Amino acid sequence: MGLTGFLFPGQGSQYVGMGKALHDAFPQARDWFGEGEESAGLPLRKLCFQGPDDDLRKTEITQPAILLVSVIAWRLLEQRGAVPDFVAGHSLGEYSALVAAGSVPFPDALRTVRSRGRFMQEAVPAGEGAMAAVLGMERQQVEKICREFAAGRVVSAANFNGAGQIVISGHKDAVERVSHQAREQGARRVVPIPVSAPFHCALMTPARDRLVPELDRLPFQDLAFPLLTNVDAVPIRTGDQAREALKRQVTSPVRWEESLRAMIQSGVTTFVEVGPGKVLSTLARRLQKDLRIHRVEDPESLDATCRALQYNRGGE
């Protein structure tokens, strides 16, 4: 059997009801929810289980909520003997991956991503930024259109997700110009993304500058297994590397497709998405059809994944 990569989702994977089935099924999960609420200073059970959706979508709430559910799913897997060969997390998910790898303490990660979400939200006044997904266009062409139609404003590629999907981010007017040109020049579709801020572009510089001191205060440990960073798509193992990658990540594009390909080239044949939703599972499946893809977000998917990967389903 080949190697295994665990993938941790980012913002956009949240939904009302996430984590509730794990909470109800496992006493440990209830304890961890309580620990998470105390660390984040938020009523995360209510927000995750009942919403409303508008509150759960607020960046300052979304980020700790997804991290909490992802870490609970990871801990239940870990109790059953799961040891990944590689981990990676999409944007926010990189924090979940670092918790799983033993680099960042869970309470510190929750507090930090709540601050990260607030800093990102406050970096750009509401309505001034935007993001859009460009489908069916090559990376070089998208980058060229961004350069040619920025008109002195900020617009750049924010996520290279794979499967022909590139997300652009920046000033609203510039994103709209580039979106129009991408359609004119042959993009299959261009889909505006309903986000509260333009992530992973130069407009996030104020957020990065506020986050850096918080990351410098965190005690990063070396990683128990290698992590593919968003910014470089190469494996790291030291705490110092992890800290620097998180600093650069705020204003840099997420090189997700490259990260997946690097793991596949290293021998990964099985991916497990650990946390809410199936965004990353879908991207991996579209990238290479013969990969084994699993998810863990509720008791049923936990049991199915443990059975498929021959982990101890009893959790002893």
Please, which residues bridge with residue 189 across strands? 135
Pairing state between β 165-171 and 189-193: unpaired
Contact 105, 131 (CB under 8 A): no
**End-to-end Cα, the chain, rounded Å:** 24
Structure tokens belonging to residue 292: 């084994």
Contact 49, 103 (CB under 8 A): no
Task: Determine whether 70 is an active site residue.
Answer: no
Please, which residues bridge with residue 5 across strands? 86, 271
Half-sphere exposure of 76 (CA within 13 A, CB side): 33
- Identified catalytic residue from 91, 103, 252, 281: 91
* Nearest of 189, 165, 166, 161 to residue 88 by alpha carbon: 161
Contact 180, 130 (CB under 8 A): no
For residue 106, give the H/E element and its range.
Answer: helix 106-123
Task: Determine whether 91 is an active site residue.
Answer: yes
- Helix residue spans in the chain (DSSP H): 20-25, 27-40, 44-50, 53-56, 59-79, 93-100, 106-123, 139-149, 172-184, 205-217, 239-249, 256-265, 279-287, 299-309
Residue 192's SS3 state is strand
DSSP string of 265-310, one letter each residue: HTTEEEEEEESSSSHHHHHHHHH-TTSEEEEESSHHHHHHHHHHHT
- Identified catalytic residue from 23, 90, 171, 200: 200
Structure tokens belonging to residue 63: 């980020």
Residue with tokens 């870990």: 78
- Helix residue spans in 157-197 (DSSP H): 172-184
For the annotated catalytic residues, the residue numbers are 91, 200
